[in-house]
Amino acid sequence: MKIAVTGSSGLVGSALVRALRADGHEVLRLVRRTAQAADEVTWDPAAGELRGEDLHGVQAAVNLAGAGIGDRRLTPAYRDKVLASRIGATTTLARTMAALRPRPSVLLSGSAVGWYGDPGNREVDETEPPGSGFIPDMVRQWEAATAPAEDAGIRVVHLRSGIVLSASGGALAKVLPLFRLGLGGRLGSGRQYMSWISLPDEVGAIGFLLTAGGVSGPVNLTTPHPVTNAVYTRAIGRVLGRPTLFAVPGFALRLALGGFAEEVLARRRVLPRRLLEAGYPFQHPDIDDALRAVIGGP
């Protein structure tokens, strides 16, 4: 299969490209700079520019483009950047795919469990309506931007990813140095549930959904076993063989992270109902196994 991938230089995108090629697929990477390799296509999502002829023969696309939500404080200006980067990239790709002849069969488009806001510690799945606040509103607009592809009859899947666990990037990688020094600890009360997925399962689920022809709409990319932040913290300590005695109170997080602190402290117990119903076989459903796989350890 010939597959176009946006966001291919990111944590998930780079691992996905390697996995798709290992499975025998041809991958085109959409890049915002001048193309420097035969497998690269230049596009300008902010300006809505992507030439259809550059995607000739593409049968599927995975859209992972967008400014990182946790990369800096969520100031009003950065909120605008986060939203515009996602809407611009998704709209541009969806419109271009809709105009191709023959049309690609599927678009897997990035999304997030931020859709659910803070539903408390009750279990939620893909039937849950959106929460309130900046993040849920952003995710709602992000998913709606795929409309041109859906209207053209292309199967669209919204990849509502949880926290992706990897030692080489993302939320876990940022705190690992502290945990290795024995300075890691829970965030806030630690009682808030967090919905996570290992990087191998994130990549595996995306590959699975490329050919899961009966699946469209929102799909939660999370483990079947979400855990509280306190359980997650203790699991990191066990895998590293380090104590986890410290805690970062909520007020300190708000001072350090501004508006993003509410995202860190949000309670989300999100279940991957549709992924399980489709038959995806999780490699790392449990937190200890997942951490040993991505960090290493006994």
Residue by residue, DSSP assigns 151-184 as: HTT-EEEEEEE-EEE-SSSHHHHHHHHHHHTT--
Q: pTM higher than 0.75, yes or no?
A: yes
Token digits of residue 178: 């502290």
The rounded distance, in Å, linking the Cα atoms of 256 and 68 is 17
Closest by Cα among 90, 110, 107 to 50:
90
The Cα-based distances of 253 to 78, 110, 179 in angstroms read 18, 27, 17
The pLDDT value given to residue 96: 97
Element (H, E) at 108: strand 106-112
Show the domain range for 272: 2-295
Which regions in the chain score pLDDT beneath 70? 70-72, 250-264, 297-298
The rounded distance, in Å, linking the Cα atoms of 110 and 87 is 11
For residue 297, give the DSSP letter.
-
Token digits of residue 177: 């140095």
| Residue whose pair of structure tokens reads 């890049």 in the numeric block | 31
The pLDDT value given to residue 92: 97
**Helix 76-99 to helix 134-144 angle, to the nearest 10 degrees?**
20
- In the chain, alpha helices (H): 11-22, 76-99, 134-144, 147-151, 170-180, 199-210, 229-240, 250-257, 260-265, 273-278, 287-295
The pLDDT value given to residue 183: 87
The pLDDT value given to residue 67: 84
| Residue whose pair of structure tokens reads 């991957």 in the numeric block | 272
| Residue whose pair of structure tokens reads 């005695």 in the numeric block | 245
The count of domains in the chain is 1
- The phi and psi torsions of 265 (rounded to 5 degrees) equal -90, -5
CATH number of the domain at 41, please. Answer: 3.40.50.720
3-class DSSP state of 29: strand
Closest by Cα among 150, 146, 74, 75 to 111:
146
| Contact criterion met (CB below 8 Å) for 91 and 104 | no
Token digits of residue 211: 């050919």
